[in-house]
Structure 1
Amino acid sequence: MAGSGSSEVRTPIFSGENYEFWRIKMVTIFKSLGLWSLIEKGIPTPDSKKKKKAEESSEEEADAEMIVVLMKDAKALGIIQNVVSD
């Protein structure tokens, strides 16, 4: 089948109309890309449990995890910016 295996997602452009329908589509897209939690909750901030865990793990591991989160954040922002009309 042509196109199967492609990771490209067709995102609907929001032009100011039919917001609820557009929103439902966007939530589905973000969930399918594993980005919805980041959209809904934002970049996680360390609480006391996470701080304790971070102290036990190496600083490099904590940095690598933060880089992954920041990359997901940038991906989500890029998608949002591309789906809103001028």
Structure 2
Amino acid sequence: MASHTSGIPSTPFPIFKGDGYEFWKIRMQTILISQDLWDFMGTGFNEADGDRTRLRENKKKDARALSLIQSAVHDDIFSRIAGATTSKQAWTLLQNEYQGNSKVQMVKLQGLRREFETIQMKEGEPVADFLSKVMKIVNQKRSYSEVVTDQTVVEKVL
């Protein structure tokens, strides 16, 4: 089990360089959940909270979440979130730029559905290579919240 120093995981961060956002997002979500910081990505925190102790604790947690996100992006990407003052702002900026809004996501998902339906194993292609391609598409579809059953995957491979 990885040890923690000041709440930051000692395992290496997945560094996002501009490619593979869907998989980076899943890895970062797991890290943020493990640090009990994931809630800030969806709801943020209430700046007008009358409980000063809770507000201070939430600001501290949010700063830790923002720090994790900043640490997990390449310098070329960092400039895009440098102005974000909360973890939710940084997360939303990255999500909008690399995953797109709901309309962009629908278009990407339609393309992935078409790619899944039309993919075929090439003559002489190893089964492992074909399975790898199929699973890459399936995992991308799942990252856009598409439900893909194991039965569907098995039917495609067979």
Same fold? TM cut 0.5: yes
By how many angstroms is 1:67 displaced? 0.6
What percent of counterpart residues are identical?
Answer: 37
Larger Rg: 2
User: Partners in 2 of 1:68 and 1:45 — Cα distance?
Assistant: 12
Residue 73 of structure 2 is aligned to residue 71 of structure 1 = no
By how many angstroms is 1:25 displaced? 0.3
- TM-score (normalizing by structure 2): 0.40
Partners of 2:47 and 2:55 within 8 A in 1:
no
Q: Superposition RMSD on alpha carbons, in Å?
A: 1.9
Gaps of 5+ in 2: 76-158
Alignment of 1:14-33 (within 5 A): 14-33=16-35
User: Partners in 2 of 1:16 and 1:28 — Cα distance?
Assistant: 19
Alignment of 1:1-86 (within 5 A): 4=1, 6-7=3-4, 8-9=8-9, 10-44=12-46, 62-86=51-75
The one of the two structures with greater contact order (alpha-carbon pairs below 8 A, sep at least 6) is: 1
1:5/1:15 Cα in 2 relative to 1: closer, same or farther (>3 Å)?
closer
- TM-score (normalizing by structure 1): 0.71
The runs of at least 4 aligned residues of structure 1 exceeding 3 Å deviation read: none
Alignment: residue pair count:
70
1:81/1:5 Cα in 2 relative to 1: closer, same or farther (>3 Å)?
closer
User: Partners in 2 of 1:18 and 1:81 — Cα distance?
Assistant: 17
By how many angstroms is 1:5 displaced? 5.8
